[in-house]
Amino acid sequence: MLLFTPGPTPVPQNVRNAMADETMHHRTPEFEAIFEKTRKHLFNLFKTDEVVMIASSGTGAMEAAVINLCKNTLLSVNSGKFGERFGKIATAHGLKNVEIKNEWNTPVSIDAVINAVKANANIDAIAVQISESAGGLRHPVEELAKAVKEINPNIMIIADGITAVGVEPIDVTNIDCLIAGSQKALMLPPGLAILGLSNAAIETMGSGVGYYLNLASEIKKQKQNTTAYTAATTLIIGLLEVLETIEAKGGVEKLYVDTVTRANAVKSALQALGLHIYPQESAKSMTTIDDANAAEIRTLLKTDFEVNVAGGQDHLKGKIFRINQMGLISNYEMAWVVNAVELCLAKLGRRVYDGTANRIFNEITFGMDK
């Protein structure tokens, strides 16, 4: 079965092997050496002033960001399940929350953000997804961050990059906190989250907030290549293997080029079948199709063609399907996925099978469309 859900993504064989070794004690020079190397790679990936790893799923890092960087009112962008989560985190911690809510296919308007910031002087942090995985939507985070900083440079910009870090280059000039999670573009099992932080963010958090999720105490330790509490040793060993593999295969810049090419090839292949792309602005992490037969296509993909893709949640349940494009993906696997979608449409009697999806995918991927 090919796993093509936009998280979890498949873990490469060499990474599984690396994680199969004996358990290591975390307070040893051996593990500290691994931690140090991993940190170096993370600085290269995040391009932020500081990076910190925590043993939690992605949501733990979202919570850490909100509690450490927001003291009064969080402005959150809700165009999907994950954007909604930021608001819920703020409320759970007794912070005030202002939300800009849109349909799940609609990117946030920068004017709406500017108006909200101008209307409420208590807003001290903004939380937004770079790639909102609920609908496969790309928000204009870099532009938003720049516009906000021009009004008030003290407002903290929290960017959830859980399906964006390792997918496409992100300009972190005006971003104070950039979040990644292990089981998406980083091709690891779930359980490790990473935050990239600006010096301004570190200054804002002071001695930090909370206990386990106190980022200030964690940073203090991680600068010395250790952790405040037991490190997720196995996942960090896996992360180092992933980051070294990316390096060996041409580096992150090459990964970004390959991912955007794959994203364009999949999108064009499926559009050529007459399918409709759901988001107004697609993230590079996944292709999301809205379709009356979305549920049937998803089931057929699994039962007849050994392809596992994701569906939708809440009001989009049974209405969309989402195909992953993150990570180191073999072209022959991706080509099979778009071909399998075409075969499903033929089975449903919607079009005669003629290999269009496979042809277009290959033409774009191998530059034969020019």
Ligand X SMILES: *Cc1c(COP(=O)(O)O)cnc(C)c1O
Dist CA 311 CA 334 (whole Å): 18
Closest residue to ligand X in the complex (CB): 58
User: Of the ranges 53-61, 257-265, 266-274, 306-314, which one interacts with ligand X (CB under 6 A)?
Assistant: 53-61
Comparing CB distances to ligand X, the nearer of 181 and 312 is 181
Dist CA 61 CA 67 (whole Å): 10
- Count the site residues for ligand X by CB under 6 A: 13
**Burial of 16: CB neighbours in 10 Å, binned 0-12, 13-18, 19+:** middle
Comparing CB distances to ligand X, the nearer of 210 and 347 is 210
Using the rule CB under 6 A, which residue among 7, 107, 135, 238 binds ligand X? 7
User: Of the ranges 56-64, 89-97, 305-313, 316-324, which one interacts with ligand X (CB under 6 A)?
Assistant: 56-64
Q: How many CB atoms are located within 10 Å of the residue 92 CB?
A: 12
CB of 183 to ligand X, least distance (A): 6
Q: Note whether 190 binds ligand X by CB under 6 A.
A: yes
CB of 166 to ligand X, least distance (A): 12
Using the rule CB under 6 A, which residue among 129, 204, 259, 356 binds ligand X? 129
Q: Note whether 162 binds ligand X by CB under 6 A.
A: yes
Is-contact 135 80, C-beta < 8 A? yes
Dist CA 266 CA 105 (whole Å): 18
Site for ligand X in 234-273 (CB under 6 A): none
Q: Note whether 297 binds ligand X by CB under 6 A.
A: no
Dist CA 162 CA 90 (whole Å): 19
Using the rule CB under 6 A, which residue among 50, 63, 160, 218 binds ligand X? 160
Dist CA 211 CA 218 (whole Å): 10
Comparing CB distances to ligand X, the nearer of 5 and 365 is 5
Q: Among the residues of 249-355, which ranges form H helices?
A: 251-272, 294-305, 331-347
Q: Note whether 327 binds ligand X by CB under 6 A.
A: no
**In this structure, what DSSP letter does residue 314 have?**
G
> Crossing angle, helix 110-119 and helix 141-151, to 10 degrees?
30
**Interacting residue ranges for ligand X, rule: CB under 6 A:** 7, 57-59, 82, 129, 133, 160, 162-163, 181, 184, 190
